[in-house]
């Protein structure tokens, strides 16, 4: 039921009692998580497990926080408090940004889920704002989207994390002491479950191959999506014992692409409202927004296949086919509504 509410298929009033109970118990903690996105820098706190975002919190907890925040956004819009709804939605999306900045591959994938859960609520909230407040909110949305690191940066970080874990059992105490806090935690994770001595010797011998493989993946990750996928397909397939194969990372890259598409869809929805206010009619295609200098060519390229369909209530339905994580994955279309 909560998922249907987040997608706009059911009103917030249909929320099951469990959701309201969770918000009653967790509302203060949720406020703290969202308020933390206002910090000047994004980094994970010191924790026993180097992959958890903060003490007592996991990536799954952040996904739950996004769902509860999405419900509060929709409930605030229903009560006519668009300003509060928009502020909460931007903080929720900033949580996805912070995970991408500080959380490595796991944080990036958690951020993908957060964006997916907040796409409809955020589109509803931003388009309900008065024009002056909406312009500022869209500017903030673009800023946080653009702060998400490129996939090549993600791959360089992933390479460092994985090699640190693999080789941590062979690091001396002096070398461990030279590491900063978060890398040291990751190294300590690797030392808790070391590979056999034979495997560790094999990893040391293969280290040049491991580094070369990660460099290939990082170079591919920096390319535009179509060229990137073609480059990954040209690399040797399969996962070796010393480095990951390109197929699994193509799946992660595409999921990251889909999150950017959804952020752009929220921007398109807000800009479509500006277009209607300026022209007296809804735009028929995303190209009209580019011609009106409301949307950039890069945004059009990612979300240019969005469908604009007039809604029965005089509003506008925007639907976008998301890039599939793999050729075998089912097709996904995300839809948002802009009220008249």
Tens-place pLDDT, residues 221-255:
999 999 999 999 888 876 666 677 888 899 999 99
Q: Is the confidence at residue 148, as pLDDT, over 70?
A: yes
Is residue 51's pLDDT more than 70?
A: no
The pLDDT of residue 43 is above 70:
no
Average pLDDT over residues 50-76: 85
- Residue 92's pLDDT is what? 97
The HSE-up count of residue 236 (CA atoms within 13 Å, CB side) is 7
pLDDT band at 112, cuts 50/70/90?
very high
Instruction: Bin 8: left if φ > 0, else alpha if -120 < ψ < 50, else beta.
Output: left
Give the mean model confidence (pLDDT) for residues 127-145.
97
In sequence order, the 6+-apart residues with CB closer than 8 A to the CB of 14 are: 1, 4, 5
User: Rounded to an integer, what distance in angstroms lies between the CA atom of residue 155 and that of residue 215?
Assistant: 8
Q: Residue 144 — pLDDT band, cuts 50, 70, 90?
A: very high
Backbone angles phi, psi at 308, to 5 degrees: -105, 115
CA distances from 96 to 4, 154, 167 (A): 21, 14, 30
**pTM tops 0.85, yes or no:** yes
Q: For residue 200, is pLDDT > 90?
A: no
């Amino acid at each position: 039921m909560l998922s249907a509410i987040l997608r706009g298929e059911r009103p917030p009033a249909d929320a099951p009692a469990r959701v309201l109970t969770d918000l009653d118990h967790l509302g203060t903690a949720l406020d703290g998580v969202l308020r933390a996105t206002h910090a000047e820098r994004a980094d994970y706190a010191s924790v026993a497990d180097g992959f958890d975002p903060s003490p007592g919190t996991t990536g799954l907890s952040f996904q739950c926080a996004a769902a509860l925040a999405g419900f509060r956004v929709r409930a605030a819009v229903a009560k006519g408090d668009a300003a509060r709804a928009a502020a909460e939605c931007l903080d929720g999306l900033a949580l996805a940004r912070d995970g991408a900045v500080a959380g490595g591959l796991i944080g990036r994938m958690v951020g993908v889920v957060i964006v997916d859960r907040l796409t409809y609520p955020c589109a509803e909230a931003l388009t309900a704002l008065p024009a002056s407040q909406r312009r500022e909110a869209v500017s903030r949305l673009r800023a946080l989207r653009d702060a998400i690191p490129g996939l090549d940066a993600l791959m360089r970080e992933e390479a460092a994390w994985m090699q640190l874990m693999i080789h941590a059992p062979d690091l001396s105490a002096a070398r461990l002491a030279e590491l900063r806090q978060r890398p040291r935690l990751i190294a300590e994770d690797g030392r808790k479950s070391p590979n056999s001595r034979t495997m560790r010797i094999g990893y040391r011998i293969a280290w040049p191959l491991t580094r070369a493989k990660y460099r290939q993946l990082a170079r591919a990750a920096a390319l535009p999506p179509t060229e990137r996928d073609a480059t990954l397909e040209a690399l040797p397939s399969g996962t070796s014992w010393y480095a990951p194969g390109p197929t699994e990372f193509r799946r992660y890259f595409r999921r990251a692409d889909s999150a950017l598409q959804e952020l752009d869809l929220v921007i398109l929805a807000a800009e479509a409202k500006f277009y209607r206010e300026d022209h007296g009619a809804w735009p028929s295609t995303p190209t009209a927004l580019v011609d009106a200098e409301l949307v950039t060519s890069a945004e059009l390229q990612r979300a240019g296949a969005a469908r604009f369909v007039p809604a029965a209530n005089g509003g506008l339905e925007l639907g976008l086919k998301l890039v599939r994580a793999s050729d075998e994955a089912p097709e996904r279309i995300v839809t948002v509504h802009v009220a008249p």
